[in-house]
Amino acid sequence: MKLRRVTAAYVLFLAAVVFVADGGAGRAAFAPLRALPLGDKLGHFVLMGALSLLVNLCLSCRTLEVRGVRVLAGSLLVLPAVVLEEFSQLLTPHRSFDPVDLLFDALGILTFGRLALRLKRAPVPRPA
């Protein structure tokens, strides 16, 4: 139950980040991240990856078969939402769509989805 609350809080945090960015305050708020080499791309990778990690763990890393390939259900939920958010930037004057951001979002979703699988399969340490 705690994991679901953390995931819900994280979704609210991401919604706040999008709201700030869409409102035009994102340039100033995210300036320190943009000052780092590839900082913006790293931000996309980590933020969307963490969302994938949390959602996949909430779903106990359930998989679905898509055209003969097993895919994490949580990643399948996160990916379209992220794609829609990225494309919505085309409609916002304060944001700019960047396909490379979308690539880093997808890489984060895939990488952190695999991390969720590893964490789920890891043995739980028992107290001595």
- pLDDT tens for each residue of 47-81: 999 999 999 999 999 999 999 999 999 999 999 99
Q: What is the pLDDT of residue 22?
A: 81
The domain containing residue 67 runs over which residues? 2-121
- 3-state helix/strand/coil string of 15-71: HHHHHHHHCCCHHHHCHHHHHCCCHHHHHHHHHHHHHHHHHHHHCCCCEEEECCEEE
Average pLDDT of span 69-96? 93
Is residue 106, in this structure, part of any structural domain at all? yes
pLDDT tens for 107-120 read 999 999 999 999 99
pLDDT tens for 3-45 read 999 999 999 999 999 988 888 776 766 777 777 788 889 999 9
Q: What is the pLDDT of residue 124?
A: 67
Is residue 40, in this structure, part of any structural domain at all? yes
Q: How many domains does the chain have?
A: 1
Is residue 74, in this structure, part of any structural domain at all? yes
Is residue 127, in this structure, part of any structural domain at all? no
Is residue 14, in this structure, part of any structural domain at all? yes
Is residue 128, in this structure, part of any structural domain at all? no
Q: Name the more confident of 49 and 92.
A: 49
Q: Is the entire prediction scored with pTM above 0.95? A: no
Is residue 85, in this structure, part of any structural domain at all? yes
Average pLDDT of span 82-105? 92
Is residue 126, in this structure, part of any structural domain at all? no
